[in-house]
Amino acid sequence: MEFVGANILSIEQFERADIERVFDVADAMEPYALRRRVTRVLEGAILGNMFFEASTRTRVSFGCAFNLLGGEVRETTGFASSAISKGESLYDTARVLSGYSDVICMRHPEPGSVAEFAAASRVPVINGGDGHNEHPSQALLDLYTIRKELADKNRQVDGMRIAMIGDLKYGRTVHSLCKLLKVFRDLHLTLVSPAELAMPDDIVDDLRGAGHQVQVSDDLTHSIAHVDIAYSTRIQEERFDSRREADLYRGRFRLNQAIYTQYCEPNTVIMHPLPRDSRAAANELDEDLNQNPNLAIFRQTDNGVLVRMALFALILDVVDQVDRCARPV
């Protein structure tokens, strides 16, 4: 793909070579993310960070990534602080805000809304999550993490065994991750959810069409017994009609240290896009796993900064200038 000036709306834009390119640039960002070096390569540039749904990681890590490259961040959080609450359209909002920014990240509750916004924007737009549809930068940081974790264990992504667990119907991170994994070879995927929250059929069909083995299950302990990666997700309460309905599914697939010790292979990597639901009755990933060295959830969040720095550098065409604009701390 041509990165320069591109919108990042769906993970399906990425071929395998594009993924490698993002990961190579992400690797090169590490000294800057760790504050061993400072670069001002995006000095004078402005990120419009527009989040119309709650976010901790995506919003802040996109902002930090831009700051670490020397740019400024302007945030809009929630509809109430935007003129959308006065009836302004996405088209007008995009035309206005793209006059104030060099690149825009956007999260919105409606599937397809970020693409609609991007069609009117005069600057590149990155999808920070559009309803239950997609979350492409999360899929990239998840895969970047998977690759690093498996490399530490002398394994690679091709041929890996992964279980995705939880709300696979509304979880946009697992939708994007499945779409991204299509470009790899010989994967074994186990999709663990209540039947009502199963992965959409089109995504499962595409995985099988790409030659991967896909099993659908509602049995957690059996499904995590022989996997390299156990990727847990929360019940996406905000997509249900009521909290009561979400409560029907909460707590059904709880992974804790005792279950991990009894059923998982010793090197199984535990992942989660976060937030995990820490309320006692929900708790899909117990805090008693926090000292487990294979719990990669905070390595995922750290890697998110590297991957998002890489996306900015590629889209704004400054990859070759990052080091030239750098100095040691």
Residues in contact with ligand CP by the rule CB under 6 A: 55-59, 129, 135, 138, 273-275
Q: Which is nearer to ligand CP, 41 or 168 (CB)?
A: 168
Among candidate residues 134, 135, 142, 136, the one with its CA nearest the CA of residue 296: 142
Asked whether the bond before 275 is cis by omega within 30 degrees of 0, the reply is yes
Q: What's the min distance (Å) between Cβ of 66 and ligand CP?
A: 15
Q: Which is nearer to ligand CP, 104 or 322 (CB)?
A: 104
Instruction: Please answer whether residues 157 and 146 qualify as being in contact, where contact means their C-beta atoms are separated by less than 8 angstroms.
Output: yes
Distance between the two ends of the chain, CA-based, in angstroms? 34
Q: What's the min distance (Å) between Cβ of 55 and ligand CP?
A: 3
Find the helix or strand (DSSP H, E) in which 73 lies.
strand 72-77
Q: What's the min distance (Å) between Cβ of 129 and ligand CP?
A: 6
Q: Which is nearer to ligand CP, 59 or 175 (CB)?
A: 59
Q: Which is nearer to ligand CP, 55 or 127 (CB)?
A: 55
Which residues touch 201 (CB under 8 Å, ≥6 apart)? none
Q: What's the min distance (Å) between Cβ of 54 and ligand CP?
A: 6
Q: Which residues are catalytic?
A: 57-58, 86, 107, 135
**Which residue pairs, CB below 8 angstroms and at least 24 apart, start in 97-102?**
97/48, 97/50, 97/121, 98/48, 98/122, 98/123, 100/46, 100/48, 100/74, 101/46, 101/47, 101/48, 101/74, 102/42, 102/45, 102/46, 102/47, 102/71, 102/316
